[in-house]
Amino acid sequence: MKHLILKTSAFLLLAGSLALRAEEIPLVGNIPGRNTTTLAGEWSYIVDVQEEGYYDYRMNPTPWGFFQNAKPQTPKDLIEYDFDKSDRMVLPSDWNTRDQRLFFYEGTVWFKKDFTWHPAEGRRTLLYFGAVNYEAHVWVNGKQAGHHVGGFTPFNMDITDLVVDGNNFVVVKVDNKRHAEDVPTQIFDWWNYGGITRDILLVDVAPVYVENYSLLLDRKDYGLLHWKVRLNAPVAGKRVRLSVPELKVDKTVVTGADGTASLDVKARPELWSPDNPRLYEVCIDLDGETVKDAIGFRSIETRGKQILLNGKPIFLKGISIHDEKAFGGGRANSAEDAAVRLGWAREMGCNFVRLAHYPHNEYMVREAEREGFLVWSEIPVYWTIAWTDPGTYANAQAQLRDMIERDVNRANVIIWSIANETPHSPERDSFLGRLATYARSLDNSRLISMAMEVTSASNYHNRLQDNMHEFVDVVSFNQYIGWYRDVDDAPKMTWEIPYEKPVIVSEFGGGARAGLHGDKGERWTEEFQENLYIQNTAMLDRIDGLSGTTPWILKDFRSPRRVLPGVQDYYNRKGLVSDDGRKKKAFYVMKAWYEGK
């Protein structure tokens, strides 16, 4: 794939034997539990429509690019940019809502930040980004630090050999142009927010550190925990200690030649659930350096057409959510953003949220865990992907890997979703089948699903037919009776899902402009949307094996595909809450329906 540089899965060599290259390195888990310094705040930025800061006039990469942050040394010097005289933007954020000139802009913007750093002797410095949409080139003090593709997953790079004691600067070239071979591809129904949209952190680590770990409850034996730990280097003989004080767990393992270790630990935790979101303090220590976490323990599985949480059937009372701020649009990136939206979901009676259509920011996942919301997490394999492009598959797999690596210890994440509304073909089946198999190889403690489409319909009979049913644990599909088909058809509809698996209706709904009222037959009114939800919920009650729903969607969100003046105004109006926080009449239909479940 054009632009794609894949992460190496090989471990890095130890400092002292060979200096680490400045490049993207395997993702470090549980960043909130480590020693970090934020680079959030004001950054200088330059809009570069023709990428003259990266290419010369023959479109060859130039060694004199903006990444040098050059200054004239004499009055004769010609330098046609100056970060220090350029506009400032508070990061993390998106440029679309921070600069009205860039509302529709798709292209390159350069960002620069000066920072002071005093690296400790014998330590390593990592540079971590929660997400950059979509392609990022990073330089530290004018030297290449790394390159990343993908707009919704975190990445980090080792910059130890690039920083100096004292004043430093980092420059990031961000490009959110769309390409056919990207993930997502050229068309998608949400705003293409550009920028450094999530946390920017310096991470202080030892030369050998705990890169990632997992501590998970056995699916069947609730008195058994499975602990795995991985170092950043293939070092044997390292003693790693696990402590869970409330469970009286204090265990030590010794790493093998590949720098990994695992252990089954006997303990009987109080189980995490929406009614009791219990978290335990967990400490992992290597050579006196401790990584702290708060981890819950639960079991998720299926039996026939039921979903079992901690061995008991559960109905997933859900809602779909985009990772957009509660008010005014813009990419969400804080615990406060999460709390407002989850508050609306709780008022509706939800115990489950579908975080569509890409991995959401880590604050959202962790806040949902603390508040007791189960989570469906998804990668942006959305609509029509370049199914036969090896680079596209590698990109999707990398995003799936990083989503799982970041959230493997979050008890509330119960579903990894690999796609949404993808057209059927042998190439697509091969692509998605490989992703499902890969997800299970990384984490077999959760369920696999995807949002399918109902493609077989005869008058008022709908039959789900999708070859991916062999790969998923939960059969999920989107349907829009009442919006893309007459709402009066809903009472006549029958549904056939010919698979002995639980069913989630992952999308249904329709649009309404908050405050617009009229007859229930008048599109865009709250009464139209209200009636649509009344008819749909009655229809859904007749689906055999229904184990949950996530209607589309919690709140109105920005989309360039929604252009109707006076009604949409570049918002998808299918939200049950408006962008200014008003609850539409359909909100209360869902609330009443969930109260009866």
pLDDT 10s digits, 74-92: 999 999 999 999 999 999 9
pLDDT digits (tens, 9 = 90+) for 492-506: 889 999 999 999 999
C-beta neighbour count of 116 within 10 angstroms: 9
Q: End-to-end alpha-carbon separation of the chain, Å?
A: 47
Handedness of CA 591, 303, 219, 261 (dihedral sign): negative
pLDDT value at position 456?
61
Q: CA dihedral in degrees (370, 152, 560, 389; nearest 10)?
A: -140
- The H or E element containing residue 518 is none
Mean pLDDT for 9-23 is 35
Angle at 476 between CA 471 and CA 477, to 5 degrees: 120
Q: Which of the following CATH numbers is that of domain 310-595: 3.40.50.720, 3.30.470.20, 1.10.150.130, 3.20.20.80?
A: 3.20.20.80
Q: How many residues does the chain have?
A: 597
What is the CATH superfamily name and number for domain 24-205? Galactose-binding domain-like (2.60.120.260)
pLDDT digits (tens, 9 = 90+) for 182-209: 999 999 999 999 999 999 999 999 999 9
Distances 368 to 76, 197, 268, 364, 447 between C-alpha atoms, Å? 58, 20, 24, 6, 18
> Which of 158, 247, 153 has the alpha carbon at shortest distance from 203?
158
Mean pLDDT for 467-486 is 94
Indicate if the pLDDT at residue 154 is higher than 80.
yes
Indicate if the pLDDT at residue 291 is higher than 70.
yes
pLDDT value at position 4?
35
pLDDT value at position 221?
97
pLDDT value at position 12?
28
255 close to 236: Cβ distance less than 8 angstroms: yes
Helix (H, G, I), strand (E, B) or coil at 83: helix
415 close to 377: Cβ distance less than 8 angstroms: yes
Indicate if the pLDDT at residue 260 is higher than 80.
yes
- The H or E element containing residue 141 is none
Q: From the centroid of its chain, how far is CA 378?
A: 7
Paired sense of beta strands 447-453 and 475-478, if any: parallel
Indicate if the pLDDT at residue 16 is higher than 70.
no
Contacts of 125 (CB under 8 A, 6+ apart): 117, 119, 158, 159, 160, 163, 202, 203, 204, 205
Contacts of 334 (CB under 8 A, 6+ apart): 361, 363
Indicate if the pLDDT at residue 14 is higher than 70.
no
- 577-586: b (≥16 Cβ within 10 Å) or e: bbbeeebbbb
For 408-486, list the strands marked E by DSSP. Answer: 413-420, 447-453, 456-458, 461-463, 475-478
What is the CATH superfamily name and number for domain 210-301? Immunoglobulins (2.60.40.10)
pLDDT value at position 22?
56
> Which of 308, 431, 315 has the alpha carbon at shortest distance from 379?
431
Percent of the chain with pLDDT over 90: 92
Contacts of 418 (CB under 8 A, 6+ apart): 378, 379, 381, 400, 432, 435, 436, 439, 448, 449, 450
Task: Kindly report the pTM of this predicted structure.
Answer: 0.94
Share the mean pLDDT of the chain.
94
C-beta neighbour count of 8 within 10 angstroms: 12
pLDDT value at position 588?
98
146 close to 15: Cβ distance less than 8 angstroms: no
pLDDT value at position 5?
31
Structure tokens at 545: 């094996």
Structure tokens at 349: 């009676």
Tell me 335's DSSP state. H
Phi, psi (deg, nearest 5) at residue 469: -60, -25
Mean pLDDT for 324-351 is 96
C-beta neighbour count of 236 within 10 angstroms: 12
Mean pLDDT for 430-450 is 97
Cα gap 99→344, rounded to integer Å: 29
Do 210-301 and 310-595 fold alike per CATH?
no
> Which of 352, 360, 350 has the alpha carbon at shortest distance from 322?
360
Domain residue extents for the chain: 24-205, 210-301, 310-595
